[in-house]
Amino acid sequence: MAKEDRKELVIIGAGPGGYAAAFHAADLGIKVTLIDPEVNPGGVCLYRGCIPSKALLHLAKTKEEAMHASKWGIKFEEPKIDIKKVAGWKEKVVKKLTEGLGQLSEARDIEYIQGKAKFTGEHKLEVTNNKGKTSDLSFEKVIIATGSSAVGLPDLEIDHDKIWDATDALELKEIPKKLLVVGGGYIGLELGSVYAALGTKVSIAEMTPGFLPGTDRDLVKVFEKNEPFKDVFFETKVEEVKITKKGVKVSLKGKKEEQNKKFDRVLVAVGRKPNTQNLGLKKLGISANEKGFLEVDNKRRTKLEHVFAIGDITGEPMLAHKASHEGRITAEVIAGKKGAAYDPKVIPAIVFTNPELAWCGLTEEEAKEKDKNVKVVKFPWSASGRAVSIGENTGLTKLLIDKETEVILGGAVAGKNAGSLIPEIALAIEMGSTASDLSLTIHPHPTLSETIMESAELFYGGATHYKKA
């Protein structure tokens, strides 16, 4: 085989981390080779994650809101769900966006290679295309951005038929009558919500005493008020699973009792693991840590000068927006920008359920643990004109503010559009803003964003629309 020229920069994985790195590096004048098994960039996020799930969650929300409107005098009939059409629409969304990325990649003269990469040396790798044909290439520098994949449970093998992972759930082949979601984290809640809206009776089994372990309970309560699920089993483990012709028999072992339940399908959403296996890392000369993550410095450089890693494989939180930020930073590092480094103060997290939950920075639980000298201010949405006018009275906005410096250290929003509200708090924290910076910024009326301003006002004693009893 003819020996190829050394590629200037190879990026393995074209998810939000990889393609962001590739695009930015190309914009900075670097010749980029991007390798991914899919036909276009996008990765799990666009093909089987964030984007399709949000499309479906949007439908779920639309349906719920329509049903809800009967209380206000607009009554719709029970909706008819055309699952094929729903799946088709979701596919259209995915296709439009990934093709768009393909065009953006092409417009930047990025060499896109469809296939799977595996290192064969310090500067060499082998690409296997979808037909199993291999080719070799060598590179100067490489960014590993291979992402993560769902983990199963020891006694709960995912068979992609009756036992699903998130990808299977997003395929939307059928609407099971009864679905058990194992795992009360954000993926379980989001997908559980989708199926609940589609008419499935969804039960959730979670090992810990509540949804979203680590998240402040007051936020979770806002979500729970909607009672989205049929049954919820906390502190419960899946003991035994028997696959029958019709469905799945599951024995759930709670704190006190064990109960046997029948479901049509089981969705396993207990977590994700970094894709650092089968990459030939040993040949490259690095290895993952015991959790499977690659260790990197604040330039996202591994212990090898020419090898970088970004996204889910560098550690928690495994979030697309963290990955794309790392991608852009790394492109700048490689382009020789001295100031480029990964040093976020906060990474916002959002659960796109209905209502949405979003937070960033210090949480109340952490503040207690670390014994931080903070004042927690909470503004209930029942005091917000906009929230009440759209029937979102149960929402909540809160800020954690350093008592002495008045600097915003954390914040959270639970309610409609929480995900679109949280960036203001994230920006405030990154800027080192104080409560007065927020309270003195004019927020448009009537919007939900006012709840952030009024929370900040609460720090100084009183908000215009809320007086603590």
Partner 1 sequence: MAKEIKVPQISEGVDTAVISEILVSKGDKIEEDQSMISVETDKATAEIPATAGGTIKEIKVSEGDEVSVGDVIIILEDNGDGSEEKEEDESKNKEEETSEDKKEEAEKEEEKPDSDEKEKDESKSAKKEEEQKEDKEEDEDEDDEEDAAEEDDEKKKSKGSEAKKDKDTDEDSSKEVYASPGVRRLARELGVNLEEISGSGESGRITEKDVKEYKEGGSKKSSSGQAKLPDFSKWGAVENKPLNNIKKTTAKNVLASWQSIPHVFQFGEADISGVETYIEDHKEKVEEAGGKLTLTAILTKIVATALHKFPTFNASIDMDKEEMILKKYVNINIAVATEDGLLVPVIKNADQKSIKDLSVEISEIAEKAREQKLSKEDMEGGNFSISNLGGIGGTNFTPIVYHPQVAILGISRATTKPVYIDGKFEPRSILPLSLSYDHRLIDGADGAGFMNWLVKALEDPYEALLG
Q: What are the residues binding partner 1 (CB under 8 A)?
A: 298, 337-345, 372-373, 402-407, 409, 430-432, 434, 436-437
d(C-alpha 322, C-alpha 313), whole Å: 11
Give least dist CB 454 to partner 1, A.
Answer: 20
CB atoms closer than 10 angstroms to residue 431: 12
Preceding amide of 444 cis, omega within 30: no
Residue 374 C-beta: closest distance to partner 1, Å: 8
Q: If residue 216 lies in a helix (H) or strand (E), which one and from where to where? A: none
CB of 107 to partner 1, least distance (A): 27
Taking the C-alpha atoms of residue 430 and residue 438, their distance in angstroms, rounded to an integer, is 13
For partner 1, the closer of residues 221 and 372 by Cβ is: 372
Is the Cβ of residue 153 or residue 407 nearer to partner 1 in the bound state? Answer: 407
Q: Which residues contact 443 (CB under 8 A, 6 or more apart)?
A: 449, 450, 452, 453
The sign of the CA dihedral 265, 270, 275, 278 is: negative
Pick the closer one to partner 1 by CB: 154 or 339: 339
Please say which residue, 210 or 344, places its beta carbon nearer to partner 1: 344
Instruction: Record the tokens describing residue 126, joined without a space.
Output: 């082998």
Six-digit token pair at 130?
């979808």
H-run or E-run covering 339: none
The token pair at 247 is: 């469905």
**358, 422 Cβ separation under 8 angstroms:** yes
- For residue 397, which phi and psi values (nearest 5 degrees)? -125, 135
| DSSP character string of 76-93 | PPPPP--HHHHHHHHHHH
Helix (H, G, I), strand (E, B) or coil at 311: helix
Residue 402 Cβ vs partner 1, minimum distance, rounded to whole Å: 6
Residue among 208 and 373 whose Cβ is closer to partner 1: 373
Q: Taking the complex as a whole, how short is the minimal distance between the CB of residue 373 and partner 1, in angstroms?
A: 4
Least CB distance from residue 166 to partner 1, whole Å? 30
CA neighbours closer than 13 Å in the CB half-sphere of residue 283: 13
Whichever of 342 and 379 has its CB closer to partner 1, that residue is 342
Kind and range of the H or E run holding 314: none
Q: Are strands 201-205 and 178-182 parallel, antiparallel or unpaired?
A: parallel
Catalytic residues: 445
Q: Which of 420, 271, 399, 312 is nearest to 357 (CA)?
A: 420
Nearer residue to partner 1 within complex by CB, 413 or 438? 438
Whichever of 312 and 392 has its CB closer to partner 1, that residue is: 312
Closest of 152, 126, 111 to residue 26, by C-alpha: 111
Locate 73 and state its tokens: 């005098």
Task: For the CB of residue 292, give the shortest distance to partner 1 in the complex, in Å.
Answer: 20
319 vs 342: CA distance, rounded Å: 15
* Distance, CA of 418 to CA of 354 (rounded, Å): 10
Q: Compute the least distance from the CB of residue 436 to partner 1, in Å.
A: 7
